[in-house]
Structure 1
Amino acid sequence: MAITLKRLRDQVIVVTGATSGNGLAIVEEAVRRGAAVVATARNEAALEALRDRLSADGGRIAICVADVSDMAGVERVAAVAIETFGGFDSWVNNAGTGTYGTLEQVPVADHRRVFDVNYFGLLHGSLVAARHLRGRGGAIVNIGSILSDRAIVEQGPYCATKHAVQALTDTLRMELEQEGAPISVTLIKPGAIDTPFPEHARNFMDQPPRLPPPLYAPSVVADAVLFACETSRRTLYAGGGGLVSSLLSRAAPRLSDRIMELVGTTTQQKPDDPGDPTRRDNLYEPRVDALRGSQNVHARTSSTVLQAQKLHPAFLMLGVVGAGIAVALSRPKPTRR
């Protein structure tokens, strides 16, 4: 069955992790463009404030307090969408959490919690969304990361979940295509985005964490996600810095490893700027949420790479081929004897 996606203003969109960072940007932009939204997160006060603010301006929004690691909670979100709007057309699996520190520093229980949210939360949302959308069509949009393509030091559990998210998304897409379900499945791979993630993550380093530059504003991710709600795409990179890192990792993995080993820790630390202490560590309980991080950073508000992908999906293949050619040409030629 062919995939036909509605115009954004005719859609109902479910967004998880809706009160902070990328999720908040997605909700605000979706409502601004005329879509109805079901916003879900753990932070009840932030959800209520979001609903009141957007509703006051005429936005159509419903809320549901839920932890995506709990399947019953995710099913409750779908029930709210059905009760309020008669169903939904797109489901955005955005909720995420993380840690900073080496694999040995992070307790196993915290490893499991990161997987419970980032992987199993996304699995729960995907299963619930697919069940609903099989009969009406629509889009499932999963938030991965450039770390779905390669790992970085100090974020091992997070990287592992994002690798798993890519595999889950690919499997989901194949299974839905195999059965002929009219559902688009897209993986969004943001680069470093100026959200409260470094403050929200549980930190085991001896310095405050930060995201390595270049950074992009959450609006870049929102643009990619809402495009995927209307247009079937396999993958979208949100931010050119992330795509460059991914291509380098594919073309020269050992070189990428060396770069990460040399600068991976220092570029993820900000000793003189720890950020807002009221946001610190939301691994198990919600903390103060916000659209942007409170650290003093520069974030780009647009991505040329994303706009090129929106024009034509072949852009990514050209990038992969170009990176491969560049690496091949840079290798020394064998000496003739």
Structure 2
Amino acid sequence: MVGRVVVVTGASSGIGRASAERFASRGDRLVLAARGEDALLAVAARCRSAGAEVVTRVTDVTDRDAVRALADTAVDRFGGIDVWVDTAAVMAYGRFEDVPAPVFDRVVTTNLIGAANVAREALRVFRTRQRGTLILGSSLLSRIAVPYVGAYVSSKWGHRALARVLRQETRDAPDIHVCLVSPGSVNTPIYRSAANYAGRVGRPPPPVDASAKVAAAVVRLADRPRPERSVGLANGLIRFGFTAMPPVYDLLVGPLMRVGGLSREEVAGHDGNVFGPGPRHDDEGEWGRHWLRAVAVGAVAAGVGAAAVVARTRRRA
């Protein structure tokens, strides 16, 4: 069977790589893009071994012309695009005042303006056939705020707003869909490859899901589009605490990030892979579920949720 045409930007590692491999296993035809050629070719080889037809193109999503050329490659080779998955993202750790302005700006440019560049080209192609699904790799951090990753949080809040606007503007085309996949912590290399001015290597706060779990959600969105799909056992509870009791949340989130979001491994300041591809990584990072820390963090979060319920009940009484 001839599958759909799927473009994946950010395909060289993590969720992008896992998504490409899952689409490949279904027989979809793939156009894979990332900044690092070696890692991209390795992913393409794995997808071809699964029987998929694959085209690769080295692409930086911050380059509008390169993203347009990527879209044209898909159209020229396969006649169109059915699904575009954008998971390209970078991160920087550190207090806002400690992160160099060029690093902060580049994180926002890659994550938000890069997504806009992708959306512009995806919609240009989708409009020609009045159908297509754009899936943007979002985050739980598009709905809450945490310290030490201010550029990433800022970019993801803008990311969610952009998706909402695009849904409003494509209401005239009911077969064009704009979707968000919003995971919590995921076991990918982004934490170690991030720029870092926090003094300690970052890590995903527990509980941590495998990138394959998020990839499964991506494929479900491609099959049955809906505005957003959240991935993460604790996401709802964390969002509730953030919304229901902001003072308590803000009091606790700093200590919890220092315990759960930063490792004990010290590191000198560096710009990571923010300005260019870093060393090649495996599709999974080095972070497990760390259930002991997850239980401790979850207990505190549950306490916040319980306190919020009590406070609301008292206000209504």
TM-score by length of 2: 0.88
Task: Compute the displacement of 1:85 (Å).
Answer: 1.2
Write the mapping of 1:230-269 to structure 2, written as runs, cut at 5 A: 230-269=223-262
Question: How far apart are the structure 2 equivalents of 1:80 and 1:127?
Answer: 15
Write the mapping of 1:97-116 to structure 2, written as runs, cut at 5 A: 97-116=90-109
Any conservation in 2 of the 1:193–1:299 contact (CA below 8 Å)?
Answer: no
Aligned residues: 302
Find 1:298's aligned residue among 289, 294, 312: 289
The question of 1:159 aligning with 2:153 is answered: yes
Write the mapping of 1:163-174 to structure 2, written as runs, cut at 5 A: 163-174=157-168
Matched letter for residue 257 of structure 1: D
Task: Compute the displacement of 1:332 (Å).
Answer: 6.2
Question: How far apart are the structure 2 equivalents of 1:121 and 1:264?
Answer: 27
- Name the counterpart of 1:204: 197
Question: How far apart are the structure 2 equivalents of 1:325 and 1:11?
Answer: 46
Any conservation in 1 of the 2:16–2:86 contact (CA below 8 Å)?
Answer: no
- Name the counterpart of 2:275: 284
Task: Compute the displacement of 1:79 (Å).
Answer: 1.3
Moved over 3 A (4+): 323-334
Any conservation in 1 of the 2:180–2:229 contact (CA below 8 Å)?
Answer: yes
Question: How far apart are the structure 2 equivalents of 1:326 and 1:37?
Answer: 48
- Name the counterpart of 1:149: 143
- Name the counterpart of 1:17: 10
Q: 1:64 to 1:204 in 2, by over 3 A?
A: same
Matched letter for residue 258 of structure 1: L
Task: Compute the displacement of 1:19 (Å).
Answer: 0.6
Task: Compute the displacement of 1:264 (Å).
Answer: 1.7
Question: How far apart are the structure 1 equivalents of 2:141 and 2:53?
Answer: 34
Question: How far apart are the structure 1 equivalents of 2:249 and 2:206?
Answer: 16
Any conservation in 2 of the 1:153–1:265 contact (CA below 8 Å)?
Answer: no
Matched letter for residue 54 of structure 1: C
The question of 1:122 aligning with 2:115 is answered: yes
Any conservation in 1 of the 2:47–2:54 contact (CA below 8 Å)?
Answer: yes
Question: How far apart are the structure 1 equivalents of 2:60 and 2:98?
Answer: 26
Q: What runs of 5+ residues in structure 1 fail to find an aligned partner?
A: 1-7, 301-322
Any conservation in 2 of the 1:96–1:117 contact (CA below 8 Å)?
Answer: yes
Q: 1:332 to 1:169 in 2, by over 3 A?
A: closer
Task: Compute the displacement of 1:324 (Å).
Answer: 9.3
Matched letter for residue 139 of structure 1: T
Matched letter for residue 138 of structure 1: G
TM-score by length of 1: 0.83
Question: How far apart are the structure 2 equivalents of 1:173 and 1:82?
Answer: 23
Question: How far apart are the structure 2 equivalents of 1:194 and 1:269?
Answer: 14
Aligned residues: CA RMSD: 2.6
SS across alignment from 2:145: coil
Question: How far apart are the structure 2 equivalents of 1:111 and 1:169?
Answer: 22
Any conservation in 2 of the 1:9–1:33 contact (CA below 8 Å)?
Answer: no
- Name the counterpart of 1:95: 88
Find 1:83's aligned residue among 76, 80, 91: 76
- Name the counterpart of 1:320: none
Task: Compute the displacement of 1:330 (Å).
Answer: 4.6
Q: 1:263 to 1:327 in 2, by over 3 A?
A: closer
- Name the counterpart of 2:213: 220
SS across alignment from 2:263: coil
